[in-house]
Amino acid sequence: MLVTTTEHIPGRNYEILGECFGVTTQSRNAFSDIGAGLKSIVGGEVRGYTKMLETSRRDAIQKLKDEAQKMGADAVVMMRFDSGSIAAEMMTVVAYGTAVKFTN
């Protein structure tokens, strides 16, 4: 399934099926929190959180693809990410876009 951040796919015409989403929520572990606390003192990348966000984005995109496929889509255009915290220990990542069906 093609997922693109662009509005148009060169050489393809399509009809819009509707919006689709992929959502994942992950909790931070205690070791990452301890490491983040230490990094806030000395500065630098918090690799545990970076890895968690990378994994969350991949999971959200896969769920987006699954949802688009259920809708009968061939692709998702205008894909974007949004993220936020739930309480102090959970992070949510959403991948969203427009599911489309090729007409040519």
Domains annotated on the chain, with CATH: 2-102 (3.30.110.70)
Give the containing element (helix H, strand E) for 41.
helix 30-42
Predicted confidence pLDDT, tens digits, the chain (104 residues)? 999 999 999 999 999 999 999 999 988 665 555 555 554 555 677 777 888 889 999 999 999 999 999 999 999 999 999 998 887 678 899 999 999 999 98
Residue listed under structure tokens 């545990």: 48
Q: How far apart are CA 12 and CA 17, in angstroms?
A: 15
Q: Model pTM greater than 0.85?
A: no
- 101 class by beta-carbon count within 10 Å (0-12 exposed, 13-18 middle, 19+ buried): middle
Give the containing element (helix H, strand E) for 93.
strand 90-102
Q: What is the pLDDT of residue 2?
A: 97
Q: What is the pLDDT of residue 35?
A: 52
